[in-house]
Amino acid sequence: MRVRVWRRRAVRLALPVVAAAVVWSPVAAAGPPAAGLPVVPGDDGQPTQPFIVGGSDTSTDEHPWMVALTDAAASPYCGGALVGPDRVVTAAHCVANRDQAELTVIAGRTDMRTSEGVETGVRQVWVHPGFDGDPMGGDDVAVLTLEREPGYRTLPLNEDPSAYQPGTPATVLGWGYTDESGPSSPVLQEVDVPLQSDSDCSGTYSQYDASEMVCAGDPEGERDACYGDSGGPLVVDGRLIGVTSWGTGCARPGLPGVYVRISSYADDLQAQLS
């Protein structure tokens, strides 16, 4: 079973686990996993990553706070959410150990084949001090301070622990793969996935920690995040409740995606917004 870390381009190895997982980050359109999220080898020795599967086209007009992270080659590899005028929340594995000078955040661009929207550099990167390089180890959250304000509406942080009721429909977005074998989508995708119970998630993944993670996915395996979607937002009722982090394969039955539980980090994140 393969473990996925969902981000694009640059790849980093995470330790194999009982239920292999993948980190979700954007990947080059037709190539191997892109930089932005670490890729974990599965029991077949092949890396896996995440992207939006079973979704549909949407736009930054509908989701103005949605942003893409790009590298020195101007290739999108992870997502993020604008949570303050010049602050973006993303996954720690998307930015840890990366050259800050090579990071660019793109806001207001629905189709990555165009030049619409605003591009800005990153002035400061805050990675949660508990992050050890392995998304499955938890604390997979980071805040970027941008060099300038993109000027788009922001997404409020969820601070309510009761927002994670099993069965609640949540929306995940990204420019990642639309199938486990690719390709990635140049147009922003969205898909609704139900939140799963902590007991089910713990039974599926031995690394699952309900105090800082939440999982979501279609039990039938029709809808999911995938390669290149790492760092992107999980949204319920207009609030950021999660950050795309890791999972196993893409849209596999009984194997939901795992997200950072934002309410558990509300104080840390608010401190970075002040």
Single out the residue of 180, 216, 10, 186 nearest to residue 97, CA to CA.
10
Phi, psi of 148 (to 5 degrees): -150, 160
Beta strands in the chain (DSSP E): 4-6, 22-24, 40-41, 47-48, 56-57, 66-70, 76-84, 87-90, 104-107, 118-127, 142-146, 169-174, 189-194, 213-216, 233-236, 239-247, 257-261
Distance CA 239, CA 262 (A): 10
Residue type, position 248, single letter: T
140 is catalytic: yes
**Per annotation, catalytic residue among 86, 134, 139, 140:** 140
Phi, psi of 267 (to 5 degrees): -65, -45
Three-state secondary structure along 50-76?
A: CCCECCEECCCCCCCCEEEEECCCCCE
Residue type, position 124, single letter: Q
DSSP state letters, 26-52: ---TTSSPBTTS-BEE-TTS-EE----
**Per annotation, catalytic residue among 93, 139, 185, 245:** 93
**Per annotation, catalytic residue among 25, 75, 230, 264:** 230
Supply the residues annotated as catalytic: 93, 140, 230
